[in-house]
Structure 1
Amino acid sequence: MEYPMICFNGGRPNPDGTFSDRTRRGMISVIIHEVGHNFFPMIINSDERQWTWMDEGLNTFCQYLTEQEFEEDYKSRRGPPYKIIDYMKGEKNFISPIMTNSESIFQFGNNAYGKPATALNILRESVMGRELFDYAFREYAQRWAFKHPSPADFFRSMEDASSFDLDWFWRGWFFTNDHVDLSINEVNVLTGEDLKNKFKKVPDAFKDFINDETYYYEMTFENIGGLVMPIFLEFEFEDGSKVEQRIPAEIWRMTGDKVSKVFTFEKKAVSISLDPKFETADVDVENNYWPKKMVKSKFQEFEELRTKK
């Protein structure tokens, strides 16, 4: 355990023994973090000087999980996707890939702590699922306890234990400084009748699949930021109901930076949202809606809160 840190890091109560909620959380978080170092890198003994993220990043991820278990709505400093957006959309000349040697990186805290923790959180919550991720992560820790794993050992263990091909994920999040910015470029809405009129001669084999009352949504997406991610959609219909569609990242495999897909529903959609739950750390949500809608800036949100007080 990093004993000096648990002794000297904040937070500290006031002389009269009182403390703010921020100080309280600071104290709890630093204890969780430093105790976590019993495991990363003391037992799973990675090379902190070469790959700081294998120590601090994995430990910060475990810290985030612990904080959320410790208290409902705990305000974690790192881990949630939205917390890393400002860093990832910054000037690329000052953003190093996570896999850069620790002595050569910019913005040490974001690079070695925040981004790896966020990446693993997204991998757990939105790509693999909690049960499978937890099994694979535990398997990695058990395999490499009292040994000296490298990044390749971590990547390989996670894939081997889960049977998931995660090459695309490691490449984007760990080997590049790309960011997430997926966009809804175009939506063409057609009914079954429209299709029949568009294609005058419909092959008999397809006639049974074309329903006059079905709505067909041909959507085109673009990967502007370069970092490959799954496509998460929410369709809202005229009757107020909503349906989620989750498309795996493999949809980008053969198409480069643009891809199209058709969705069919028996009801008419009034709006479509991309990444509606803000799961992917998308840096620009203004291009995530059909039809387009205004998105409030942080300043506008702050002003609204200030005027309500």
Structure 2
Amino acid sequence: MIMKRPLLAGLCLLAANLPGAMAQQTKSESVYDQHKAFAPNFYTSNGTETRSAIGYPGHKYWQNRADYNIAVTMDTVKSRIDGATTITYTNNSPDALPYLWLQLDQNLYRKDSRAEAATAVSGGRYASKEFTEGYEISSVTITNALGKTEKVEYVVTDTRMQIRLPQALKANGGKLQIKIQYGFQIVEQGTDRMGKLKTKNGIIYEIAQWFPRMAVYDDVLGWNNLPYLGAGEFYLDYGDYTYSITAPANMVVVGSGELTNPTTALTPKQLERFNRAKNSETTVAIVDSTDVLAAPTRSGNVTWNFTCKNTRDVAWAASKAFIWDGARINLPNGKKAMAQSAYPVETASLKAWGRSTEYVKGCIESYSNKWYPYTYPVAVNVAGIVGGMEYPGIVFCSARSAGGGLWGVTNHEFGHNWFPMIVGSNERKYAWMDEGFNTFVNNIATEEFNKGEYYRPQKVGAMAPMIFNPKSESLMHIPEVLQPMNLGLGAYYKPALGLALLREQIVGKDRFDYAFKKYIDEWAFKHPTPTDFFRAMENGTGEDLTWFWRGWFQENWKLDQAVKEVKYLSNDATKGALITIENLQELPMPVTIEVKESNGKTSTVKLPVEIWQRGGTWTFKYNSTSELSQVTIDPNGEFPDVNPANNKWTPAPAAN
């Protein structure tokens, strides 16, 4: 999910108004302690049979599976969804399960929900603006492995449902089916994850969190049952989905996965264009503005059938106001997928959504070639009320987005198809493992797209006041614990900058990219933890990075490197200079130093982070040939140093 512009603007404003805060860092007293920074006890447990010490799934790794068959009807008069979902749940764990837990996300919109009780009086992005009854469940039954179907006892607690089984579900492959009949009201503003947008040609419905979903039972916590409060996103098992949407015949429905009945869902004209778009390198209109304004050619309802395999979720959108276009996505090894966009006539300019499919194609191809091949048959961008939200194979982006803003939100939301759709981390607990990783890869894709059309190099040094503002917090907090103004820092910018520092300054692009790709390969469609990531990157790069994980991720340590003094051997510059540098804050980092001599010679010295293992000062010999005119730490501003004023040394003026 992407941050809204007001939050980003607020962060920039905060950074711009912190001279006093940064001035506090000009003191020369060091708070650095190498014993804390390089303490050897970072990992509190050894590798296990399920999670290896190398950071990959262990030889006995397991995870449970949830396959879904969903059929619903959309009533646009009553603004409702009604239907049933059948879940085939497979217990691959070594534990017999006497009960099951499901997520009921629509219950967030109940007036008595925990989310409502935990929302500040001032409101916020995830505050409900209207209330419903949540999921209206009429029936819950289970069918066991012998084919016996029976009603089952269940208890609903806020956004969770516990099904109490008459017999425990067997370990190591036990299966059962759960069928739930339900309905819910479609909210207009669904906490920026779903909702309805009124346009001049009809309402755009963006539908997500629209069926009861299995909670994850894993080898880390057992059942993962944090309530859904809005900011924390999702943690879901993988499976195959088949689903059908019955909607008014004058609507276009787009969704996660492959449309399996195009000959009955589409008109002959739409079908011909749809097939042409699938094989076109450039954007082809499937439904154009003329079609939107024309009189309907069909009446009643039409059912749209979709299938999406090996996925953790599905979502969809519907409207009679949609312009719908598409193009071919070229994937590695000759595979193909289809980029699609659905948006209202009002946004169809080439300065706005008219380029959406080009953007979808561009970012999907970039991520596929760089990191891991795209796994879904379609990639659909929907313009609507949602500012920016991701689901497998489909994303919701603001209809108001245009130009570089539309590229940015499209690129970001589709980047989520790698984190957390392919690499299935626990978003409810570790937002930085999806938002931060995604923001990191977004920057690389933006540099590649259309020869850098929207690329602006990061000014890392200038980010220090924002990253280390006086109210900043550690990354290792669930989203609801981070203060609203820090969510952008803790979930998006700081973890993304951390990966960039690793790649650009600490281990180098080649080793980083190799280790990061191996991490993605090994954890594709599985559930890594932060420790798994840390171990995978250390083993893959061949570096002990515990000092970095500790200071950047677990703690909130700042960086302040300084040039302390320069002396000459035997007071003779031609015999060499002794340059002393300091690490004044708690975070160590490698050091890049530019040395200028009075004879015009300029040299660059790079020192590894290990120089700080002996303490907060370090002296090294520089083979000078003349007196030094300037010594500068981090001359290009590639590190987020909180006090760049002490990064430069120049000789004292000669006495009169």
Q: Same fold (TM over 0.5)?
A: yes
C-alpha separation between the residues in 1 aligned to 2:634 and 2:560?
A: 10
In the TM superposition, residue 11 of structure 1 has moved relative to its aligned partner by 5.2
* Native 8 Å contact 1:10 1:26 kept in 2: no
One of 519, 535, 540 as aligned partner of 1:161? 540
Letter in 2 for 1:95: S
* Native 8 Å contact 1:84 1:115 kept in 2: no
C-alpha separation between the residues in 1 aligned to 2:426 and 2:400?
A: 29
Classify 1:213/1:54 alpha carbon distance in 2 versus 1 (closer, same or farther; 3 Å).
Answer: closer
C-alpha separation between the residues in 1 aligned to 2:566 and 2:400?
A: 51
C-alpha separation between the residues in 2 aligned to 1:186 and 1:213?
A: 14
Output aligned runs, 1:109-120, within 5 Å. Answer: 109-120=488-499
- Paired residue secondary structure (1:41): coil
Structure 2 residue aligned with 1:98:
475
Structure 2 residue aligned with 1:185:
564
Letter in 2 for 1:216: G
Output aligned runs, 1:201-216, within 5 Å. Answer: 214-216=574-576
Letter in 1 for 2:535: R
In the TM superposition, residue 75 of structure 1 has moved relative to its aligned partner by 4.6
C-alpha separation between the residues in 1 aligned to 2:481 and 2:598?
A: 54
One of 259, 272, 276 as aligned partner of 2:618? 259
Letter in 2 for 1:129: G
C-alpha separation between the residues in 2 aligned to 1:73 and 1:215?
A: 50
- Cα deviations by residue, 1:40-60 (Å, 9 ceiling, x for unpaired): 001100001100000000000
RMSD: 2.3
* Native 8 Å contact 1:10 1:30 kept in 2: no
Structure 2 residue aligned with 1:249:
609
In the TM superposition, residue 30 of structure 1 has moved relative to its aligned partner by 0.9
In the TM superposition, residue 258 of structure 1 has moved relative to its aligned partner by 2.3
C-alpha separation between the residues in 2 aligned to 1:292 and 1:108?
A: 44
Letter in 2 for 1:235: V
Structure 1 residue aligned with 2:465:
86
One of 500, 507, 524 as aligned partner of 1:145? 524
Letter in 1 for 2:473: S
* Native 8 Å contact 1:180 1:227 kept in 2: yes
Output aligned runs, 1:217-236, within 5 Å. Answer: 217-236=577-596
One of 282, 304, 307 as aligned partner of 2:641? 282
- Cα deviations by residue, 1:59-86 (Å, 9 ceiling, x for unpaired): 0000011112224484559x65235312
In the TM superposition, residue 168 of structure 1 has moved relative to its aligned partner by 1.1
Structure 1 residue aligned with 2:234:
none
Classify 1:135/1:114 alpha carbon distance in 2 versus 1 (closer, same or farther; 3 Å).
Answer: same
Structure 2 residue aligned with 1:16:
none
Classify 1:160/1:177 alpha carbon distance in 2 versus 1 (closer, same or farther; 3 Å).
Answer: same
- Paired residue secondary structure (1:43): coil
Using the TM superposition, name which of 168-177 and 135-144 deviates more. Answer: 168-177
* Native 8 Å contact 1:186 1:220 kept in 2: yes
Classify 1:245/1:160 alpha carbon distance in 2 versus 1 (closer, same or farther; 3 Å).
Answer: same
Structure 2 residue aligned with 1:297:
none
Classify 1:239/1:104 alpha carbon distance in 2 versus 1 (closer, same or farther; 3 Å).
Answer: same
* Native 8 Å contact 1:185 1:222 kept in 2: yes
- Cα deviations by residue, 1:188-220 (Å, 9 ceiling, x for unpaired): 123xxx27xxxxxxxxxxxxxxxx773322222
Output aligned runs, 1:291-306, within 5 Å. Answer: 291=650
Structure 1 residue aligned with 2:398:
9
- Cα deviations by residue, 1:250-303 (Å, 9 ceiling, x for unpaired): 100121x2222222233432111110011111121110111179xxxxxxxxxx
Classify 1:76/1:150 alpha carbon distance in 2 versus 1 (closer, same or farther; 3 Å).
Answer: farther
C-alpha separation between the residues in 1 aligned to 2:468 and 2:582?
A: 17
Q: Which has the larger share of strand?
A: 2
C-alpha separation between the residues in 1 aligned to 2:573 and 2:521?
A: 55
* Native 8 Å contact 1:184 1:220 kept in 2: yes
Letter in 1 for 2:430: W
Letter in 1 for 2:398: N
* Native 8 Å contact 2:568 2:578 kept in 1: yes
Q: Structure 2: where are the runs of 5+ without partners?
A: 1-255, 257-314, 316-380, 389-394
Classify 1:244/1:10 alpha carbon distance in 2 versus 1 (closer, same or farther; 3 Å).
Answer: farther
Letter in 2 for 1:9: S
* Native 8 Å contact 1:61 1:117 kept in 2: yes
* Native 8 Å contact 1:236 1:271 kept in 2: yes
C-alpha separation between the residues in 2 aligned to 1:270 and 1:83?
A: 25
What's the % identity of the aligned pairs?
36
C-alpha separation between the residues in 2 aligned to 1:10 and 1:129?
A: 39
- Paired residue secondary structure (2:614): coil
In the TM superposition, residue 10 of structure 1 has moved relative to its aligned partner by 6.5
One of 539, 544, 550 as aligned partner of 1:171? 550
* Native 8 Å contact 1:84 1:114 kept in 2: no
One of 591, 594, 598 as aligned partner of 1:238? 598
C-alpha separation between the residues in 2 aligned to 1:289 and 1:73?
A: 35
- Paired residue secondary structure (1:38): coil
TM-score by length of 1: 0.78
In the TM superposition, residue 180 of structure 1 has moved relative to its aligned partner by 1.3
Structure 1 residue aligned with 2:447:
68
Structure whose alpha-carbon radius of gyration is higher: 2
Alignment coverage as a number of residue pairs:
260
Q: Structure 1: where are the runs of 5+ without partners?
A: 14-23, 196-211, 294-309
Letter in 1 for 2:596: E
Classify 1:280/1:10 alpha carbon distance in 2 versus 1 (closer, same or farther; 3 Å).
Answer: farther
In the TM superposition, residue 150 of structure 1 has moved relative to its aligned partner by 0.3
C-alpha separation between the residues in 2 aligned to 1:272 and 1:97?
A: 33
